[in-house]
Structure 1
């Protein structure tokens, strides 16, 4: 499943955790950052929550 599709689904803690697990490599983190910076407005908002957890979990990203 594509990241944008995951972000388009309902925003729940379970969904947030699923996105965090999906973003396990630098390439997928870069994809999340691209969506956060350039995505549609609503998707950008939804990307912010898991993004903050990803940065806390792996600051080297």
Structure 2
């Protein structure tokens, strides 16, 4: 049977490690959201460019 002090110490260390991992996860999700947002903006820009290209081709009558 493990003494109570050992159990208390283990509980304390567990709580600290859990807080650290939670903060790391929050940082990681924030970075991921930022990355996905920038990627989405880049994709949107590319799609807009493609649309203008298509419209220009249609206006000039050179539809592939």
Name the structure where helix makes up a greater proportion of residues.
2
- Whether TM-score is above 0.5 comes out as no
Q: For CA contacts below 8 A with separation 6 or more, give which structure has more relative contact order.
A: 1
TM bracket, shorter-chain basis: under 0.3
What TM-score, normalized by structure 2, do the two folds share? 0.26
TM-score normalized by the length of structure 1: 0.27
